[in-house]
Amino acid sequence: MRVHLCKGDETLEQALAFINDNDPDGVTYTFDQEADRCYIGDEVFVNAPVLINYKNSYYALHIAE
């Protein structure tokens, strides 16, 4: 699992673009801002390949199809 910590005024969309542009395996990720918000210990949190931490809230990414 990788965690991306948003910096300053970075938006969720900018974080997702950065993750997709810099994925070492060339994988493209996506997420739903409402449905994929998760909490430490949630199954989604534990099993997510990549998490975004945005203003102390976590969002679980999943592979785009």
Q: pLDDT tens digits, residue range 8-52?
A: 999 999 999 999 999 999 999 999 999 999 999 999 999 999 999
The pLDDT of residue 65 is 82
pTM recorded for the entire structure: 0.92
Domain count, the chain: 1
- Find residue 38's DSSP bridge partners: 58
In the chain the beta strands, taken as DSSP E runs, fall at: 2-5, 29-30, 37-38, 50-54, 57-63
Domain residues for the domain of 21 are 2-63
CB proximity list for 53: less than 8 A, separation 6 or greater: 3, 4, 5, 6
Alpha-carbon distance 32 to 46, whole Å?
Answer: 17
